[in-house]
Amino acid sequence: MALVMFDYDGVIVDSLEVFLLRFTQACREYGFNRVNAQQDVLSLFEGNVYETMMRRGLDEVTIDCILKRYEVLQGEQLADLELFNGIGEALQRISEKHQVYVITSNLSKATIRVLNQNRIDCFKDVIGAEKEKSKVKKIYTTSVLYPGVPAYYVGDTKGDMIEGKKAGAQTIGVTWGWHTPQKIKEGFPDYLVNTPEELANLLV
């Protein structure tokens, strides 16, 4: 048995278009105008998205306001989101062998809603940004629940790879998400996979 922790956006659900539209809208409403093009948004995920926003001039209170506004805005489009082809089957296979969690920069409630509407019920818990913004802390805290068990973090961005490694997990980059394979490789993933089936075969 292993502990396998998954990012949500860009790994399980194809949400980039909705995120770009609604997150940038929430940012603009609170005066953060440095995320206009897709490249601006994706650059936030070269590290921890919220730490990057703070380095660019936002305080934590404003970030929390943006998060709450984004929760409302994305809620209008959650029914439109679709899983990546094959990921549902891969998650089922992996969960039959391992303990699986979602650790995301998104909000838990929205994440759970989309998982439920797609009949994905294999996760032990969903740990979103409203519980803790640092993925390093969330990955580490979850790993502590399973001492002596191999821990993996599955993500689609350079930042995911960096945070997973800092937390002591083995990192698996997926190439169907938000960052290009070249960008993910800058985070030195332990593994890089191209399809959900390949991901399942690696872990099962």
pLDDT in tens, 9-44: 999 999 999 988 899 999 999 988 877 778 888 898
- CA–CA separation, 10 and 12 (whole Å): 6
Q: For residue 19, give the nearest of 7, 6, 5, 31 by alpha carbon.
A: 7
Span 4-8, average pLDDT: 97
Which of 57, 78, 99 is a domain's end point? 78
- CA–CA separation, 153 and 172 (whole Å): 6
- CA–CA separation, 131 and 139 (whole Å): 12
According to DSSP, the β-strands at 126-127 and 99-103 are parallel
Mark whether 188 and 137 lie in a shared domain: yes
Which helix (H) or strand (E) is 174 found in, with range? strand 170-174
C-beta of residue 81 within 8 angstroms of C-beta of residue 114:
yes
Give percent of the chain with pLDDT exceeding 90: 74
Domain boundaries, position 141:
3-14+83-203
Mark whether 63 and 104 lie in a shared domain: no
Mark whether 173 and 133 lie in a shared domain: yes
Domain containing 10 — which CATH number? 3.40.50.1000
Mark whether 67 and 93 lie in a shared domain: no
Distance of CA 13 to the CA centre of its chain: 10
Q: What is the pLDDT of residue 62?
A: 93
- CA–CA separation, 136 and 152 (whole Å): 12
Span 97-115, average pLDDT: 94
Mark whether 68 and 141 lie in a shared domain: no
Mark whether 109 and 183 lie in a shared domain: yes
Which of 79-83, 181-185, 192-196 is the least confident region?
A: 79-83
The Cβ of residue 80 has, within 10 Å, a number of other Cβ atoms equal to 10
Mark whether 148 and 95 lie in a shared domain: yes
Mark whether 62 and 129 lie in a shared domain: no
Number of domains in the chain: 2
Q: Name residue 51's amino acid.
A: E
Q: For residue 98, give the nearest of 5, 191, 178, 29 by alpha carbon.
A: 5
Mark whether 103 and 175 lie in a shared domain: yes
Q: What is the pLDDT of residue 40?
A: 83
Span 163-192, average pLDDT: 97
Mark whether 129 and 39 lie in a shared domain: no
For residue 166, the number of C-alpha atoms closer than 13 Å in the C-beta half-sphere is 14
Is the confidence at residue 5, as pLDDT, over 90? Answer: yes
Which of 36, 57, 78 is a domain's end point? 78
Mark whether 10 and 42 lie in a shared domain: no
Q: For residue 108, give the nearest of 133, 84, 81 by alpha carbon.
A: 133
Mark whether 39 and 55 lie in a shared domain: yes
Q: What is the pLDDT of residue 39?
A: 84
Residues whose CB is less than 8 angstroms from the CB of residue 166 and which lie 6 or more positions away in sequence, other chains included: 136
- CA–CA separation, 180 and 167 (whole Å): 23
Which of 31, 63, 78 is a domain's end point? 78
Buried b (16+ CB within 10 A) or exposed e, 105-130: bbbbebbbebbeebebebbeebbbbe
